[in-house]
């Protein structure tokens, strides 16, 4: 496709998708020249198509999670999440929702057994936020009912325990085919009743001015980088 055309908020809202020899290429003309300016408390993805304010002045907690799930999710050495109340953000504004795609992480890969809606920018792919769904995957370690497990508000769902349960989960999924589980397309993400809990997590790197000074390192037993001994840290999930 030809070079990007003139700037406007309308073009910013709609990423242009073009084909090249390399496959799909998404052009985002307005954000290619200078990094977007953000105010403290503003969430902004890499391409600036997704922008909104955090739902509360201060997060309920900030976590650096070193579990395998968070490494894969963030494509980095660890993932950072800030926990907020959902009030004021959900139900999502339709204009914001229209810029987000959703990956539903199966509960079988989570300590909590709950599926998780993972919202990411359709244009640049930056992961934006996570929220648990009521729907529960056929959890590995299903001997413990998901309802009886401690709540996990850190945003990763305790992927750390996957190390012990991964093989069993795969076995079980193959055996059963999970035929009775609804497909992700059957989850109504505009219905508040689809969600579990009253918090969500927003990825830390997208929040302008986020205070990291009291961030807690979790699942450090799986860490691939050194963690300063003086910082608050836990080998698995933090105590409630
Ligand atoms: Zn983006
Ligand atoms: Zn994690």
- Which tens digit of pLDDT belongs to each residue from 127-183? 999 999 987 765 444 433 444 444 466 667 554 444 444 444 445 555 554 444 556
Does 199 reside within a domain? Answer: yes
Between the CA of 45 and the centroid of ligand 1 the distance, in Å, is: 5
Establish if 94 belongs to a structural domain. yes
Ion ligand 1 neighbours, Cβ < 5 Å: 45, 47, 49, 121, 123-124
Task: Name the more confident of 37 and 10.
Answer: 37
Count of structural domains within the chain: 1
Cα of 222 vs its chain's centroid, Å = 19
pTM above 0.85, yes or no: no
Whether residue 102 is contained in a domain is answered as: yes
Per-residue model confidence (pLDDT) at position 25? 77
Q: Where are the beta strands (DSSP E) in 76-233?
A: 79-85, 100-105, 114-121, 127-136, 199-203, 216-218
Q: pLDDT by residue (tens digit) across 200-209? A: 999 999 999 9
Phi and psi at residue 100, in whole multiples of 5°? -115, 140
Distance from the CA of 211 to the center of ligand 2, in angstroms? Answer: 20
Query: How many A from CA of 177 to the centre of ligand 2?
Result: 26
User: Within a domain: residue 38?
Assistant: no
How many angstroms separate the CA atoms of 123 and 9, rounded? 15
Find the 64 Cα to ligand 2 centroid distance in Å. Answer: 8
Q: Which ligand is nearest to the CA of 46?
A: 1
Determine the distance separating the centroid of ligand 1 and the alpha carbon of 124, expressed in angstroms: 4
- Distance from C-alpha of 197 to C-alpha of 180, rounded to nearest angstrom: 24
Query: How many Å is the maximal CA-CA distance in the chain?
Result: 58
- pLDDT-derived band at 185 (thresholds 50, 70, 90) equals low
pLDDT score for 13: 45
Residue scoring higher pLDDT (67 or 168): 67
Q: How many whole angstroms from 133 Cα to the centroid of ligand 1?
A: 24
pLDDT band at 122 (very low <50, low <70, confident <90, very high): very high
Encode pLDDT of 198-233 as tens digits.
Answer: 999 999 999 999 999 999 999 999 999 999 999 999
Query: In the β-sheet with 79-85, what is the strand arrangement from edge to edge?
Result: 100-105, 114-121, 127-136, 199-203, 79-85, 61-65, 216-218
Residue 27, in any domain of the structure: no
What is the CATH classification number for the domain harbouring 86? Answer: 2.170.150.70
Domain extent, residue 48, equals 43-178+190-222
Cα 81 to the center of its chain, rounded Å? 8
Q: What is the CA radius of gyration of the chain?
A: 19
């Amino acid at each position: 496709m030809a070079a990007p055309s003139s700037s406007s908020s309308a073009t910013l809202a709609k990423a242009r998708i073009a084909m090249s020899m390399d496959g799909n290429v998404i052009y985002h003309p307005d954000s290619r020249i200078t990094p977007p300016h953000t105010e403290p408390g503003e969430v902004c993805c890499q391409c600036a198509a997704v922008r909104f304010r955090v739902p509360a002045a201060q997060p309920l907690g900030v976590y650096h999670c070193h579990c395998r799930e968070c490494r894969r999710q963030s494509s980095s050495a660890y993932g950072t999440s800030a926990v907020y109340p959902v009030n004021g953000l959900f139900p999502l504004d339709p204009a914001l929702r229209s810029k987000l795609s959703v990956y539903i992480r199966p509960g079988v890969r989570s300590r909590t057994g709950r599926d998780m809606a993972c919202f990411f920018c359709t244009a640049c792919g930056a992961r934006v936020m996570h929220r648990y769904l009521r729907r529960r995957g056929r959890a590995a370690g299903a001997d413990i009912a998901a309802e009886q497990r401690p709540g996990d508000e850190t945003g990763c769902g305790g992927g750390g325990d996957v190390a012990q349960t991964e093989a069993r989960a795969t076995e079980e999924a193959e055996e059963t085919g999970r035929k009775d589980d609804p497909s992700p397309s059957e989850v109504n993400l505009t219905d508040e009743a689809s969600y579990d809990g009253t918090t969500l997590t927003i990825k830390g790197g997208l929040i302008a001015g986020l205070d990291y000074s009291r961030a807690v390192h979790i699942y450090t037993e799986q860490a691939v980088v050194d963690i300063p001994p003086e910082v608050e840290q836990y080998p698995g999930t933090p105590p409630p």
